[in-house]
Amino acid sequence: MPISDEWSFPEGTIYLNHGSFGPSPRCVREARNAWTEKLERQPMDFFLRQMESELDHAAEKLGQLIGAEGNDLLFCDNATVAMNIVADSFPLQPGDEVLFTNQEYGAVMRIWRRACDRSQAKIVVQPLPRPIISAEQQVAALMAGVTERTKLIVVSHITSQTAVIFPIEAICREAAKRGVKVCVDGPHALAMVEMNLRRLGCDFYCASCHKWLSAPFGSGFLYVAKRYQQLLSPPVMSWGGSVAGRPAHWQDEFRWLGTRDPAPFLAVPSAIEFLDRFGCETFREQTHELAKYARQRISELTGLEPAMPDSREWYGSMIALPLPPTEAPNQGIRDQLQTPLWEKFGIEVPIIHWHGERLIRVSCHLYSTREHIDRLIEALRDFGIGRS
C-alpha cells in the first residue's frame, strides 16, 4: 500500500497545509480510537489504575524522540495551551521586559500581552533583518534588543508566517550569557528537525504533536527545565493526580484537570512508531526536497527571490515564498486568493500578508508529490500570477 493511502483526503484534494493542521495517518487514528474504546469499556479501571502509568510511558517515548526525560514533559492540548501555562506562571514585575522577534505567532503575542498587562511588564519587539544572510546576523539582531530589564525571550524555533528555522541553540546560549530565560515556541519543529532539548538549553519549550509528527489533534507538550518546574501552576485547578507509591511530582497538578479523554496523548507513541517505520531522517530529506522544488518552481514563476538561503539550515519541510503584491482586499491576514484556489482547484495552501509581504507557504509531507507542486503552479498561472 502506498504510504499516501494512510491519509483520507477527499478525491481531488491537494493538501499543502500540514503546517497548520496536520491530519493523522490511518494507523494513528486507529490507535487513538482504540484508547478511547478502552476508556469507554471500563472508565473506573482506566482512570484510577491505568491512565497515569500509560501517560508516563507515552511521555518517555516522546522524550526519547526530543532528547528529554519524560518527567520533564507535560502533555497538553497544543502549543497554545503550553504557552499559556508559562505566561500565567512566569514571575514578572512592573517594568520587566519580555523580548520577541517581529516574526512571532500572533496568538503568542496576545498571550504575553495579557500577561504583561497584568504585571505591568513591557513587550519589546525586535525586528530581524530580511533577507537572511547568516545565523550570526540573526542572533546579533535579536540580542541587540536585550536590556538590563529583559527577563525572558519568547522565540520561535520555526516561524509560522515566514517558515524560517531560527538558530535556536545559539539564541539560547547567548541569552544564558546575559542571564535571560528563553521560552521556545516550537509547534513546527517536532519531527521536521532533529531535536535535543538537553543540548538546546532552553528553559521552556512549547509544541504541538498534531503538526509534523501527525499525532492526533489535541496532543501537544510543554517541556520545563528542572529548575523551573515548581514555578508552574495548572491552567485549571482540580484534584491533581499521583501514582501510588511515587512521591509528589511537579506534573501531578497537571494530570487531572477534570474528566477528559487522554487518547490523543496516549496515541503519540503510535505517531512516533509510524514515523520510525519510514525513517525520521528519510522523512526530513524527502519533504525538504519537495519544499526545495516548490521554492524553485514558485521563484521561477514570480521572478521574486526568497528571503532565506537555499539550505536545510534555514527551512525544512515548509517554505514561505513571496508572491507579487495585490490590490485586492484581504480576508484578515489571509489573501483573497486562498479560498478560490481551494474552490476551483482543490488546493489548500495558505497565502499570508505579513509586514508588507505577500507570502505563499507550502507544506510538504509524506503524501505530497512533485505533481502537487506542479498543479499549484498551473493554478497560480490561471489566476494571473507569473512573469509575462
User: Each residue of 67-77: pLDDT tens digit?
Assistant: 999 999 999 99
Give pLDDT, residue 330.
62
CATH tag, 28-267 = 3.40.640.10
**Tell me, which fold does domain 279-382 have in CATH?**
Aspartate Aminotransferase, domain 1 (3.90.1150)
Give pLDDT, residue 199.
96
Say how far apart CA 148 and CA 141 lie, in whole Å.
17
User: Each residue of 255-295: pLDDT tens digit?
Assistant: 888 899 999 999 999 999 999 999 999 999 999 999 999 99
Under 8 Å between Cβ of 158 and 193: yes
Cα dist from 57 to 41, 194, 265, 296, whole Å: 21, 21, 10, 43
Give DSSP secondary structure letters for 256-308. Answer: -SSS---HHHHTHHHHHHHHHHH-HHHHHHHHHHHHHHHHHHHHHHH----SS
In the chain, domain spans: 28-267, 279-382
User: Each residue of 30-69: pLDDT tens digit?
Assistant: 999 999 999 999 999 999 999 999 999 999 999 999 999 9
Give the confidence band of 335 by pLDDT, cuts at 50, 70, 90: confident
Q: What is the grid cell recorded at 41?
A: 469499556
* Region of poorest pLDDT, from 85-99, 169-183, 220-234, 241-255: 241-255
Cβ-in-10-Å burial (0-12, 13-18, 19+) of 98 comes to buried
Give pLDDT, residue 213.
98
